[in-house]
Structure 1
Amino acid sequence: MPILALKIDVDTLRGTLEGVPALLRLLDKHQLRATFLFSLGPDHTGRALKRVFRPGFLAKVQRTSVTSHYGLKTLLYGTLLPGPDIGRRAADPMRDADRAGHETGVHTWDHILWQDYVVRKNADWTRRQLQLAANRYGDIFGRPPQVHGAAGWQMNDAAYVLEQELGFTLASDGRGTHPFLPVVQGRTLSVPQLPTTLPTLDELIGVDGLNEHNVADHLLRLSTDGRDHVYTLHAELEGGRLAPVFDRLLQGWKAAGLHCTSMRSYADSLNLASLPHHAVRLGSIAGRSGTLALQGAAV
């Protein structure tokens, strides 16, 4: 039975307070487990507006109705409004996910800071950001984090090495086709990467005639090819306006015989010691502006 791992990125305060509870209800309805990756520090979403000058970003904003998904208040955090501390304001929904039996992990400390700067930063800066997130996770859950999924699929070489040093045992930091062990500067690391293999809803909607009414059927066709997959969803989207789309996806995946589960459950089905070794690189994908971490060539 093919596996479809559900990876839920939670980027904002609103996504944590509103999207996470909505997704917990939906997953409970289908009796499924998923992996929730939390942003744990300040919500500075408004600072993302400076990306307007990046190729493709403005087009994405126009076709995906960012304001309706994130809300005007969220889009002012870090600019006209101070950025609220997500971990302090919204620890209860995070713990609710854990109590409901879902896997939890680290998405980032400051989503905008990591997404916009990590590629150009050094190891000391990267260590501080990861350590801040790991410490806050420990404060909330009473244990160190085991899973990491990079904000915006943005990484640098130091981040892969630090995941191993800081005790993470599983990661999903980039886009690719199958699980692998990352090779960084000639060194094979021990933290397996389970890359996102499917496009996200915000990459699909508004392209080639796809909309909220037909995108589920398109994604079902992509994901029912007999292979295992990792699907990344966002608490702000599938836990909000696009919840009906996610509901249809869950129904369709179950009807097609896919085993929808958490990242950890997917990893437990693999022989991690025999995973192929792949380089990691930066590149672009359809529907998303800028560059992001990609699974590279086999080494």
Structure 2
Amino acid sequence: MPLLTLKIDVDTYRGTREGTPNLARMLRRHRADATFLFSLGPDHTGWALRRALRPGFFQKVSRTSVVEHYGIKTLMYGVLLPGPDIGRTCAGQMRAVAKDGFECGIHTWDHVYWQDNVRKRDAAWTRNQMDEAFQRFRSIFGAAPQTHGAAGWQMNEHAFRQLDAYGMRYASDGRSELKEDGSLADASAGPYRLRVEGQELNCVQLPTTLPTLDEVLGRDINGTTINLDNLPQYLLRLTETRRDHVFTLHAELEGQKLAPIFEQLLGGWRDQGYDLVSMRQYHEHVAGQRLPVRDFAWGELPGRSGEVIIEPARQQPARPS
């Protein structure tokens, strides 16, 4: 049975308080597993307005109704309103998810600050941001985190090395390259080990292999405008040919306004024969396999503004995972 890994990025205070429990209830109804990755420090979502000059930013905002999904108040955090400390105020919601049996990991300390700065920062800045998240996670859950998924799929060389320093065996920090229609550019894309400046790292990367809902909603793809009515069918067409996948969803979207879309996807993936699993389960599935080694690379994706960590072309397998 092919595996479809559900990776949930929780970016904001509102997403943690409202979207996270909604998703947990939905997943339980469908007997699906998933991994929740939490932002653990301040919510400075309003700082994202600095991206206004980035090519494609306004196009994406207009397509995906950012105000409707995130709310005016969230978009003011860090601008006209102080950013709430998510880890301090939402620890109960986070622990409830773990108590329900779902895997929990680190998304970031400060989502917007990390996403907009990490690419050009040094080792000290990077380690400080990651240590803040690591220590907060331990204080909430009483144990060290086992996995990580980078905010905005943004990392640097120091961050990848830090995952090894923490002893994390697997993470999902990047994306597989996609064609304009959302299908995989490389049919063999999947888990790999990363090589940074000639050094092969231990942490296995489980890249996201499907487009996110906000990347396709409102776009014209093969002559069809993707809207709320045909969005589930579009994603399900991408998974008709059964193979292992990683799908990234957001507590702010699928956990709230787009919950009915996600519910249709869960049922559709079940009907297609997928086992809906967590990152931990996916890693267990590939453990012991000889995984390819990839060099650190950046690239663009259809429907997304700016570059992200990308899975480059296949190279020769190295050692078992």
Question: What TM-score comes out, normalization by structure 2 length?
Answer: 0.92
The equivalent residue for 1:170 is: 170
On the 8 A contact 1:12/1:86 being kept in 2, the answer is yes
1:190 corresponds to 2:202: yes
Report the secondary structure of 1:192's partner residue. strand
Distance 1:84 1:68 in 2: 20
Structure 2: where are the runs of 5+ without partners?
177-188, 316-321
2:212 to 195, 200, 203: 200
Q: What's the CA shift for 1:272?
A: 4.2
Deviates more, 1:58-67 or 1:217-226: 217-226
Q: What's the CA shift for 1:298?
A: 3.5
1:260 corresponds to 2:272: no
Distance 1:9 1:271 in 2: 24
Q: What's the CA shift for 1:167?
A: 2.0
The equivalent residue for 2:87 is: 87
1:153 corresponds to 2:153: yes
Deviates more, 1:10-19 or 1:163-172: 163-172
The equivalent residue for 1:123 is: 123
Distance 2:102 2:152 in 1: 22
Deviations 1:236-277 (A, max 9, x none): 000000000000000000011011110110111113451111
Q: What's the CA shift for 1:39?
A: 0.1
Q: What's the CA shift for 1:33?
A: 1.1
Distance 2:117 2:150 in 1: 12
Distance 2:288 2:110 in 1: 30
On the 8 A contact 1:9/1:37 being kept in 2, the answer is yes
Report the secondary structure of 2:4's partner residue. strand
The equivalent residue for 1:248 is: 264
Report the secondary structure of 1:155's partner residue. coil
On the 8 A contact 1:47/1:79 being kept in 2, the answer is yes
Aligned residue type for 2:75: L
Q: What's the CA shift for 1:166?
A: 1.6
Q: What's the CA shift for 1:211?
A: 0.8
Distance 1:240 1:292 in 2: 25
The equivalent residue for 1:34 is: 34
Distance 2:158 2:312 in 1: 17
Distance 2:125 2:75 in 1: 26
Identity of aligned residues (%): 54
Q: What's the CA shift for 1:191?
A: 0.3
Distance 1:234 1:35 in 2: 11
Distance 1:271 1:77 in 2: 41
Q: What's the CA shift for 1:280?
A: 2.0
Report the secondary structure of 2:105's partner residue. strand
Distance 1:297 1:241 in 2: 36
Aligned residue type for 2:14: R
CA RMSD, 1 decimal: 0.8
Aligned residue type for 2:70: Y
Deviating above 3 A after TM superposition, structure 1's stretches of 4 or more consecutive aligned residues are none
Report the secondary structure of 1:18's partner residue. helix
Deviations 1:92-127 (A, max 9, x none): 111111011100000000000110000000111100
On the 8 A contact 1:279/1:298 being kept in 2, the answer is no
Report the secondary structure of 2:8's partner residue. strand
Deviations 1:200-245 (A, max 9, x none): 0000100010011111101011123221000000000000000000
Distance 1:33 1:75 in 2: 30
